[in-house]
Amino acid sequence: MKLNFSEEVSGALHFDRPVVALESTVIAHGLPFPQNIETAYKLERIIRENGATPATIAIFDGEICVGLNDAQIESLATATDVRKVSVRDLPLVIAGKRNGATTVATTSLIADLAGIRVFSTGGIGGVHRGRANDISADLPVLANTPILVVCSGAKSVLDLPATREWLETYGVVVLGWQCDELPAFYSRSSGLAIDGRVDSDRGAAAVLKARDELGLRNAVVLAVPVPEQAAIDGDELEAMLERAIVLAAESSISGKEITPFLLSQLSQISGGKTLAANIALLENNARVAAEVSLKIER
């Protein structure tokens, strides 16, 4: 499959310099305007300031783009015809020459095709609450794609214990960044175990190196808690989430619409607190991802 690289990203890959992939669903569907466009630029800036090259990934006119220009980022943030592209959508959007925003699943697949080792995002998809057969395609892709995903765990709108079990079954290593519990996106802890704690960029890079030397193709998740000042208390979040889930059921929201719907309802119910937390953790994860990418051997 042909990939369209920006000059910045192709130069960095050519010279084996560290590159951090970024997804576009969070821009097109995860955050509201104008915070989405501001955050998209800010994440790229943070990665550059920390010594790596950002590669935001999306699909335009059926072409896979790795590294976007300003007009492309603006169109993701403002256009209404950008499809949320998970694995099953990818062939359709390419064949139909359409525009699409990539999820964790498709960003990971494309980053791996491009030779990018590190990917920074907010939260991975997982098993939905009360819908044990609604499992994000993010999970099977992570089971088979050798990438390091820096995130704040799985979104709290999901069934976190079931998601955690799934990762264990399929051999995805879950690392805690300077923490001993799996973060729960808006909250710093979930009560769920991680597989190992790492306290430094070198520690994370060493796990990646061992995975590669073993020939394992499973992703490594580096779970970074939301910064303390933006964190939301777990019980408070739970109450808000229950209201949002009821609203989703009442509005018959299902399938790929669920995640964006719950995220926007939560932001309204919380008076913007979940949005602020989401942005804070995205920025912090981008910084950690850039730091770790500098320590990975190429």
Enumerate the active-site residues: 23, 155
Nearer residue to Mn ion within complex by CB, 124 or 224: 124
φ, ψ of residue 243 in degrees (nearest 5): -65, -45
How far is CA 162 from each of CA 43, 141, 187, 254, rounded to the nearest angstrom?
30, 17, 18, 19
Q: Using CB under 6 A, which residues numbered 220 to 259 contact ligand PSU? A: 256, 259
Q: Which is nearer to ligand PSU, 259 or 265 (CB)?
A: 259
Q: Which of 138, 159, 201, 291 binds ligand PSU (CB under 6 A)?
A: 138
Smallest distance, Å, CB 107 to ligand PSU? 7
Helices (H), the chain: 7-14, 25, 35-49, 70-78, 90-95, 104-114, 138-144, 160-169, 201-214, 234-250, 258-269, 273-295
Inter-CA distances, 141 with 22, 75, 101, 104, 267, Å: 16, 27, 17, 9, 28
Q: Scanning residues 153 to 172, which ones bind ligand PSU (CB under 6 A)?
A: 155
Q: Which two tokens stand for residue 222?
A: 């580096």
Interface with ligand PSU, residue 75, by CB under 6 A: no
The entry of ligand PSU, Mn ion, none near residue 110 (CB within 5 to 8 angstroms by kind) is none
Which positions from 87 to 126 touch Mn ion by CB under 5 A, shown as an x/- string? ----------------------------------------
Token output for 189: 């802890």
The Cα–Cα gap between 114 and 127 comes to 28
- Segment 78-117, which members bind ligand PSU (CB under 6 A)? 86, 103-105
Chain residues binding ligand PSU by CB under 6 A are 23, 25-26, 29-30, 86, 103-105, 122-123, 125, 136-138, 155, 256, 259, 263, 278
